[in-house]
């Protein structure tokens, strides 16, 4: 997937912005509707589609489909799916239960196989939260941790990857200004970021280059 040039001065980046939040999520907030319990299932190569192929570093047997409840931008609970490494299932369930109780909103959550050719750019442009995708790190040839089911990208349109004046996805220019505070964005010290880091995950927003605000990984 190709990154594109950074757009001018950040306050001048164009694009429509969602409504400003009325309040920030807190650890003590609660929902009127309790989350439906997570469900875990095995996956097949056919179900993984173009996101898996025979030279991938894990087999379908090492992956699990985790169906989770998340809070949508409509302030209602929804069910979504992540494909993750079987070793991380319990952690993923715990983290997303915490995000739900924090009232941290997620726009959509479906496997990248739902997008034509398993295209990560299309998934990011759609602000789709996802995990497994057997792909390499652009420019390095090394497997991305997504190829092991050990990385999750959260609201990637709102939380782009920025690298030496370039960014992904290509429609994320307005969100390069990290002073924005509307729901779904991730900032250092946020309770939503701590939901991952307290469980031992690394956040790409702490990196120097690239800075990957959407990305969490667990080796």
pLDDT along the chain (219 residues), means of 10: 40 42 43 84 98 97 98 97 98 98 98 97 98 90 96 98 95 97 97 98 96 98
Please count the CA atoms within 13 angstroms of the CA of 128 that sit on its side-chain side.
23
Note whether 81 and 110 are within 8 A (CB): yes
What sections of 7-143 are H helices per DSSP? Answer: 45-48, 89-101, 120-125
d(CA 52, CA 58): 9
What is the predicted pLDDT for the residue at 139? 76
Tell me if residue 99 falls in helix, strand or coil: helix
d(CA 162, CA 6): 8
What is the predicted pLDDT for the residue at 31? 52
* Bond from prior residue into 210 cis (ω within 30 degrees of 0): yes
What is the predicted pLDDT for the residue at 34? 84
Note whether 135 and 146 are within 8 A (CB): yes
What is the predicted pLDDT for the residue at 33? 74
What is the predicted pLDDT for the residue at 15? 44
């Amino acid at each position: 997937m190709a990154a594109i040039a950074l757009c001018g001065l950040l306050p001048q980046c164009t694009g429509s912005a969602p409504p400003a939040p009325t309040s920030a999520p807190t650890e003590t907030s609660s929902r009127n509707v309790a989350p439906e319990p997570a469900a875990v299932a095995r996956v097949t190569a056919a179900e993984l589609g173009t996101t898996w192929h025979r030279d991938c570093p894990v087999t379908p047997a090492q992956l699990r489909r985790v169906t989770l409840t998340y809070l949508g931008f409509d302030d209602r609970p929804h069910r979504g799916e992540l494909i993750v490494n079987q070793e991380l299932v319990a952690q993923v369930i715990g983290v997303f239960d915490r995000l739900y109780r924090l009232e941290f909103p997620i726009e959509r959550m479906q496997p990248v196989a739902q997008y034509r050719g398993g295209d990560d750019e299309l998934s990011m442009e759609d602000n789709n939260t996802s995990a497994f995708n057997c792909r390499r790190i652009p420019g390095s040839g090394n497997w991305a941790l997504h190829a092991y089911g050990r990385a999750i990208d959260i609201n990637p349109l709102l939380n782009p990857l920025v690298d030496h004046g370039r960014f992904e996805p290509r429609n994320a220019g307005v969100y390069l200004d990290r002073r924005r505070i509307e729901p779904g964005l991730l900032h250092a010290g946020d309770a939503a970021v701590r939901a991952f880091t307290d469980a031992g995950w690394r956040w790409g927003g702490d990196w120097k280059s690239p800075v990957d605000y959407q990305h969490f990984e667990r080796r």
